[in-house]
């Protein structure tokens, strides 16, 4: 892979990183008046509206795919990973949610090796082990009461990894707009079911956040697919670690949240293992 191609892939992934950071802030604001199910519903509702307009402009031929079952798999795992993520945002400090979510590259490396044949040598196995040490530092089993919400976010990270792996597979065959279109189409009815209990419309002041959570979700996934088309999942996903210092600053400025020292240490270990993983030549 040439340096220019790798740089382009990194830039696209950075675009996804910024979009996910903005989406996290929008989700936190909406959590004050909406349930997690309702936030996910409106995120998909806005996304479906935008994608319907986009498909009408670009042509519905872009919806053709020979891999619909993989779109179903991708979006089922992503939906529940996303649900866990928004749930964590409502109850945990933002930096903690992101640190736990950043275990996803570890799971992605494993799943990409098992299901799409990306090489996993001894060095990568050792780094995966280091990443798991980082997870243990963050959750500290036996040294503190493990928060059930933290475990939910950790499960969400594993589901995100399944989504990343399937996205990498689909990026080889379908266009980014096709992948994003099926994301909104498949997830919308699932989100509707979860939003039905105690459903209510958001207040007028919350609508900018509703639009934001939907639009930033679309831009995040579009940028992610563009990145995956150019480079291996195990290489570009770690770029997303830039979200941790970014969101820590945002959380401190706007929500007066400070990151726990164990979260910072564990997150740093996970980051180190994943970053070194990107430097290993196959």
The residues, ordered by sequence, that sit 6+ positions from 14 with a Cβ below 8 Å of its Cβ are 239, 242
Percentage of residues in the chain with pLDDT exceeding 90? 30
Whether residue 154 contacts residue 76, with contact meaning beta carbons closer than 8 Å, is answered with no
* Distance (Å, whole) CA 13 – CA 5: 12
Give me the pLDDT at residue 33, please. 93
- The 10s digit of each residue's pLDDT in 6-64 is 788 888 988 888 898 889 899 999 999 999 999 999 999 999 999 999 888 888 888 88
Own/partner long-range contacts of 111-119 (Cβ < 8 Å, ≥24 apart)? 111/161, 111/162, 111/164, 111/165, 112/164, 112/165, 112/168, 112/232, 112/233, 112/234, 115/165, 115/169, 116/165, 116/168, 116/169, 118/232, 118/233, 118/234, 119/282
Give me the pLDDT at residue 237, please. 66
Domain spans of the chain? 6-279
Q: Which of 87, 231, 237 is nearest to 161 (CA)?
A: 237
Give me the pLDDT at residue 37, please. 92
Dihedral of the CA atoms 87, 92, 96, 98 (nearest 10)? 30
Supply 186's token pair: 């498949």
- pLDDT above 80: residue 239: no
- The 10s digit of each residue's pLDDT in 240-270 is 767 777 777 778 888 887 767 777 787 778 7
Higher pLDDT, 193 or 137: 193
Mean pLDDT for all residues in the chain: 83
| Banded model confidence at residue 238, pLDDT cuts 50, 70, 90 | low
Enter the pTM of the model. 0.78
The residues, ordered by sequence, that sit 6+ positions from 53 with a Cβ below 8 Å of its Cβ are none
């Amino acid at each position: 892979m040439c340096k220019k191609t790798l740089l382009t892939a990194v830039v696209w992934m950075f675009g996804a990183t910024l979009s996910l950071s903005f989406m996290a802030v929008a989700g936190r604001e909406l959590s004050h008046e909406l349930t997690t199910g309702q936030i996910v519903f409106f995120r998909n509702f806005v996304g479906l509206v935008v994608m319907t307009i986009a498909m009408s402009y670009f042509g519905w031929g872009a919806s053709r795919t020979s891999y619909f079952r993989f779109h179903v798999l991708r979006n089922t795992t992503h939906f529940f990973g996303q649900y866990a993520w928004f749930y964590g945002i409502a109850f945990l400090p933002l930096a903690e949610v992101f640190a736990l979510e950043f275990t996803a590259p570890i799971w992605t490396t494993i799943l990409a090796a098992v299901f799409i044949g990306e090489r996993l040598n001894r060095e990568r196995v050792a780094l995966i082990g280091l990443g798991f040490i980082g997870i243990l530092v963050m959750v500290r089993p036996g040294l503190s009461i493990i928060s059930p919400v933290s475990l939910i976010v950790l499960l969400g990270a594993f589901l995100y990894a399944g989504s990343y792996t399937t996205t990498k597979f689909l990026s080889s065959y379908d266009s980014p707009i096709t992948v994003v279109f099926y994301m909104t189409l498949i997830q919308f009815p699932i989100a509707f079911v979860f939003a039905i209990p105690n459903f209510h419309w958001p207040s007028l002041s919350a609508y900018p956040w509703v639009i934001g959570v939907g639009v930033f979700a679309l831009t995040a996934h579009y940028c992610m697919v563009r990145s995956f088309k150019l480079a291996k999942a195990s290489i570009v996903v770690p770029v997303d670690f830039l979200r941790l210092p970014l969101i820590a600053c945002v959380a401190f400025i706007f929500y007066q949240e400070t990151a726990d020292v164990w979260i910072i240490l564990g997150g740093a270990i996970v980051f180190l293992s994943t970053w070194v993983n990107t430097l290993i030549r196959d």
